[in-house]
Structure 1
């Protein structure tokens, strides 16, 4: 009988056992998302614009709300070149492959083998030879073993033996172990995808924050350079006056101190700028020596209007929360996998083929062999090992639930922190700008008085230093505000603004 006829004969038994396996029970609890306590609104969202985030749509390039073309070009490179993101991408690909392997375990494994052995013997002896092939599912399922044996007599000379066979193995999922394993691996893959999104968002956030800090440093250095040029002019005037005996040595020393202090402060900011530039290079996957960011001709500080939305939207928007929730789902499925250790495994195996000592007669009915039958395997006594595995799975699930809930609480705390920080910074920045304006006016009036000989240069230097300090404080607050706005957008899970909307004007 040919092989196709053989497998047609065993198909009814295979079908019956398969249907029995697929209709088997599913051990372990079915997954339900753990309940978490979510406030209706944020405590610190008073006065913020309400929003309805479009959670089902792509978030797009959230950083475009800042209206900075150079920043746009840099952040696009994060997904392509950042090595941390590449690492998480590889882990996600690995998780997908593991899911595919678990899915394949639900189906039968078919293997074929063919072989030839040659043996020799002395005269008057009988030679018995045997060949065997064991088959097992390439995906990890229980396998079956088909053995081909042949015996030939040779008075003197060489004996050739040929064999060909097919072996079928199928572990029937009576208790849902394979399906729970697939469920666990699929949830793990989804968690890996969320971790990839979280790593990407984190790298983008770090780059945006470093970029804004660098641009603010550029503005602070530019401000120092302007004042240094003014101080140099003042020093020349004071030195001339000192040489003519019109002013004191203390006044000259004050002018020199003022100039050198500004120069030192400017140099201090320059190495800080270089470090931010190095950090940006690494975030886009480049060596610091291969990257430079020119000073912008003009840096317009854009603080976008950020919509806080409802607190419950974090559950759908934040990738770290999504990853933690998928870890809970995977841990839940692992309980069912552990429970299956209490029950026997059923494997259907079948094999058939031909064997003969000559190639011309190999594929004939006389040389045919076949075998078919189910096999059960059950651990009879394991000193509580299975019970311990179930307890471990339950404890792992409880830990995953606690991690998920803590991740939600941490996310809520971050949003509240950045909301109150931005609201306070807006008021603080307005006050600081008024102080800087007043300081500049005081500097102007004081210098006019000095020019008219009404006051000494020491008073001028004092007001100039105060004015410079206030202006530097304004720029520092702008940088803090920009960084906080990035942190809030990221804490809310990324941007959701319509890409056709123009960024809000700077506050």
Structure 2
């Protein structure tokens, strides 16, 4: 009779099984990027920064991936997610409860006595997953763990790129500081020339005052660049997980750093190349299972007891399985004040939100790649033009200095040539940094060699 009752439960409630629609994205990816990329460019390797061939930079990246506090906290979050997977997986296994009792009493004379009698009981139970709730909860823990892993990979990728960017910025600032020092020296030399000219009656005090002002302005610019370099080094120390006071950065010559070249592939490859997209997909799957769990709350849960019977906290009795189950279902659906229904609606809404977030992440990734490709192309052109400008300004300064010393040209022409040459040098360093940063950003937005 008991077996018949169990079969009846399956027959009656089988029609109540849930058919939740999967949250599938209808996002259509373009076939190619708008900005063309040269065919000879290379694919990205997981340790892409090593292609710069800068040993101090390689050491800093590896140190940051081990000691950065955000990375360490992400590892802790990953361990917490792994623990939740173990807990969820344990819930699908039978569990046993034991109880032991002993007694202590008082006799007729009021003397305390100890009873050696004790009892031990063992109860074993196993939840029957009629509605797929337990399985969905297990998958939720697993997808949460996967999302945490992908979030960690995203953070590692972002951290690597940040270390490279700050190192390149610091090298560029060192170059600009050197240029600023040279410009101060040139201004000092010109001040000496103007002073001699004034003594010979070939210049005025106004010329001396103007050159003194130029010297002071160049000195102020130098101090500002030195301050920027120190702050950049401090930021790099934080990324590496060290105190700024004990941090030293061995820098290579900025002029020796060559921009990397990389192939962008096709847009659809981003789905498997970017860990942030993989994370959003895992969270989307998690939301789907959350809907299943919320939907299962409409129905009672059952456990197999140690004597192979059925037990349910939702039902008062299973002496009549068919009647009891039907009453339990009605109690769930009619007399819960609508809480379960609204919880299911909320879960579905969160699922739709997760789907939209997933699609937005894809669109954002496409935008970031397009921006990086365009930035790289424009920065390459601008650097080439700036190098032509620098060559012209260098020639102009040399000619202006010679003409002024010979008395053929006036001081204003020389001062203008000096300023233009320094600005061209400084702008060339800035433009090279922009190109380097564009290539670093492109590596990052393409996934940095990561694959799902």
- Compute the TM-score of the two structures, normalised by the length of structure 2: 0.87
Aligned equivalents of 1:48, 1:449: Cα separation in 2: 46
Aligned equivalents of 1:482, 1:280: Cα separation in 2: 17
Aligned equivalents of 2:235, 2:440: Cα separation in 1: 17
Structure 2 counterpart of 1:361: none
Whether contact under 8 Å (1:60, 1:495) holds in the other structure is: yes
Instruction: State the Cα deviation string for residues 371-400 of structure 1 (Å, max 9, x = none).
Output: 773212336121111111111111111000
1:64 aligns with 2:50: yes
1:298 CA displacement: 5.6
> How many residue pairs are counted as aligned between the two chains?
423
Q: Report SS of the residue matched to 2:102.
A: strand
Q: Report SS of the residue matched to 1:465.
A: helix
Within the candidate set 68, 76, 80, 1:94 is matched to: 80
1:315 CA displacement: 0.6
Aligned equivalents of 1:177, 1:242: Cα separation in 2: 93
1:48 aligns with 2:34: no
Whether contact under 8 Å (2:274, 2:450) holds in the other structure is: no
Aligned equivalents of 1:159, 1:493: Cα separation in 2: 71
Whether contact under 8 Å (2:89, 2:138) holds in the other structure is: yes
Structure 2 counterpart of 1:356: none
* 29-38 vs 322-331, greater mean Cα deviation: 29-38
1:225 CA displacement: 1.3
Aligned equivalents of 2:106, 2:79: Cα separation in 1: 52
1:60 CA displacement: 2.1
* 312-321 vs 108-117, greater mean Cα deviation: 108-117
Structure 2 counterpart of 1:442: 396
Structure 1 counterpart of 2:337: 383
1:73 aligns with 2:59: yes
Aligned equivalents of 2:154, 2:126: Cα separation in 1: 39
Structure-to-structure mapping, 1:85-484, within 5 angstroms: 85-122=71-108, 157-296=113-252, 299-350=255-306, 373-378=309-314, 380=331, 381-484=335-438
Aligned equivalents of 1:47, 1:193: Cα separation in 2: 32
Instruction: State the Cα deviation string for residues 47-85 of structure 1 (Å, max 9, x = none).
Output: 43377968xxxx521211222111111111122111111
Aligned equivalents of 1:336, 1:182: Cα separation in 2: 12
Whether contact under 8 Å (2:171, 2:254) holds in the other structure is: no
Whether contact under 8 Å (2:96, 2:123) holds in the other structure is: yes
Aligned equivalents of 1:158, 1:272: Cα separation in 2: 80
Q: Report SS of the residue matched to 1:277.
A: helix
Instruction: State the Cα deviation string for residues 17-73 of structure 1 (Å, max 9, x = none).
Output: 9xx9xxx997454756523210110012x243377968xxxx521211222111111
What's the Cα RMSD here?
2.6
Change in Cα spacing, 1:496 to 1:266, as seen in structure 2 (3 Å) is same
More strand by share: 1
Structure 1, unpaired ranges of 5+? 1-12, 126-154, 351-370, 498-507
Q: Report SS of the residue matched to 2:256.
A: coil
Aligned equivalents of 2:450, 2:408: Cα separation in 1: 59
Change in Cα spacing, 1:157 to 1:286, as seen in structure 2 (3 Å) is closer
Whether contact under 8 Å (2:54, 2:252) holds in the other structure is: no
- Compute the TM-score of the two structures, normalised by the length of structure 1: 0.78
1:271 CA displacement: 0.6
Structure 2, unpaired ranges of 5+? 315-327
1:319 CA displacement: 1.1
Aligned equivalents of 1:157, 1:175: Cα separation in 2: 53
Q: Report SS of the residue matched to 1:36.
A: coil
Within the candidate set 439, 444, 451, 1:490 is matched to: 444
1:347 CA displacement: 1.0
1:35 aligns with 2:35: no
Q: Report SS of the residue matched to 2:359.
A: helix
Instruction: State the Cα deviation string for residues 213-240 of structure 1 (Å, max 9, x = none).
Output: 1111111111111222222222223223
Change in Cα spacing, 1:425 to 1:93, as seen in structure 2 (3 Å) is same
Aligned equivalents of 1:374, 1:481: Cα separation in 2: 69
Aligned equivalents of 2:242, 2:202: Cα separation in 1: 58
Change in Cα spacing, 1:274 to 1:156, as seen in structure 2 (3 Å) is closer
More helix by share: 2
1:292 CA displacement: 2.3
1:263 CA displacement: 1.2
Structure 2 counterpart of 1:8: none
